[in-house]
Every structure is written in structure tokens, then in C-alpha cells.
Amino acid sequence: MLVYPSGADVSSSALRFLAARLREHRLALGTRWRRLNAGRQALLTLAHLRNGQPYAQLAAGFEIGTTTAYRYITEAVNLLATLAPTLTEAVRAASTKAYVILDGTLLPIDRIAADRPFYSGKHKKHGMNVQVIADPKGRLVWASPALAGAVHDVRAAREHGIIEALTEAGITCWADKGYQGACGTVRLPYRGRWDSLSAGQQAVNRSHAKIRALVEQAIATLKSWRLLRKLRCSTTRITSLVQAVLVLQLAATG
């Protein structure tokens, strides 16, 4: 295998954050020696998450075995996932905002047609449903655990307790038509064909769309970590990957 220099467009603060957490973790375990120090293990993990490179390629670049690369990355991802904010913590942070924006996104996975629970009729592909909360500037606030792609957005929001939590906190939330019936503090556009809406309803929907469009920035931020653009791992690991990326992104911007 040919080995060549490469790079990852990740903030150095994310690298320092992960390296510090790994040093603390190793100290707690009493680890004396490893093939990679905490800084190199952090870089290995960031390269995997940001660029989506396979374990074999990363192992060659870092001069370690493929199994060791898998083990190091899994350890770092699981460690980050435990640091992810809960919905309660995210809502507490969002309570200082004028409002939040809620939307769902599909993380594509390599599943066959027989895996119907993972097939999203909306997106016409297999994947995992992740709910994203953004602030008024389009910055990522929280990302939910992953559910099967066949789960609709409003059902996913209810299962995670998002609607109830935002309503109890009195936080106004803007969402699209996929959240019909959500109630609470969720604000939705008027339903119906555009030409059947009144002039006032059309104006409301235009204003609603301008506000809600900013959530796309948060979703783009999440998917800037290229591993999440096409997941080839077990579906049981996807929540940990999403939570790890959330922690890194918050660390880089916070």
C-alpha cells in the first residue's frame, strides 16, 4: 500500500480537546505504553471521522495494525459519546436563545432492499434518522440518537422527547411540515397547495421558510464530517459516531 501525506480540515481546538480527554482516560486506566500517544490517537480518530478513510488506509499511514487502528478509534469515539450533552442540557443551553429550529436528516447507510425498517420513503434510500436542533444563527445545538430511516420526523421527535422538553421550557421551535401534529411550542407552516392559501398565509409561509432555512447550516456542519455521508458500519454504532461528532463540533466552536 502506498502511503502519502494528507490533511484534515479540523480545528486544532478539537484535536487538543480530544487529546486531553484521551490523556485523562489513559491516566484513569493506568495505561503505561501504547503504540500511539494520546495526541496521535486523537489525530487518527479525527482523520477517520472527518475524511471517512477506512481503517486499513489509516493504519498504513500511522504505521500500526488495522486491528489497532480500529481499537484506538472505537475507544476514542466511545469516550467522546459519553461526553455528549443530553437533551435536558441542550434545552437548558437553548433557553437563552430567542428560539430554536428543529429538523431531521437522513444519514445514508449501505443496506439492501430487504432492510425495510431503514428505508426512508421521503429520501428514497436507506439510512438513519437524526433530529437536529439549531440556534437562530444556524449553529448546531444538539443532535439526537439515530433511529431507523423509516421513522418519520414527528415520530422521532416524540420518541426523543424533544417536543415535550421544548414546550416545558417555553422555547419556541420552528419546524417544517414533517412535524404536523407536534403541537406545544412548535411553529409550523400552513398546509395546502400554494395557490389555495390566502395572501396572508403565503406571507407567513415565506417568513417561516426564511427562518427555518438556517437549520440547513447545522445539518451541513454535521455532515462536514464525511464519515456520516455514507456509513458502512453496524447501525448499532451510528449513535456513538453522531454523538462523538457533536461533541467535537461543540468543542471546536465553543
Q: Give the model confidence (pLDDT) of 15-35 as tens digits.
A: 999 999 999 999 999 988 899
What value does the mean pLDDT take over residues 45-63? 94
In this predicted model, what pLDDT tens digit does every residue of 98-148 receive, in sequence order?
999 999 999 999 866 556 788 888 888 899 999 999 999 999 999 999 999
User: Could you identify the residue written with the cell 436507506?
Assistant: 126
Tell me how crowded residue 230 is: count the other CB atoms within 10 A of its CB. Answer: 12
Please report the pLDDT score of residue 136 as a whole number: 96
pLDDT given at position 179: 95
Q: What is the pLDDT of residue 68?
A: 97
Grid cell listed for 175: 419546524
pTM above 0.95?
Answer: no
Q: What is the pLDDT of residue 114?
A: 56
C-alpha closest to that of 131 among 103, 158, 155: 103
In tens, the pLDDT along 192-227 reads 889 899 999 999 999 999 999 999 999 999 999 999
Containing 142, the helix (H) or strand (E) segment is strand 140-143
So what's the pLDDT on residue 252?
87
Neighbours of 195 (CB within 10 A): 6
SS3 232: coil
Half-sphere exposure (Cβ direction) of 241: Cα atoms closer than 13 Å: 26
pLDDT band at 4 (very low <50, low <70, confident <90, very high): confident
Give the pLDDT confidence score for residue 112 in this predicted structure: 61
Nearest CA-CA partner of 4 in 46, 58, 49: 58
Q: Are 82 and 74 in contact (CB under 8 A)?
A: no
Average pLDDT over residues 173-197: 92
What is the spatial distance between Cα 32 and Cα 34, in angstroms, rounded to a whole number?
7
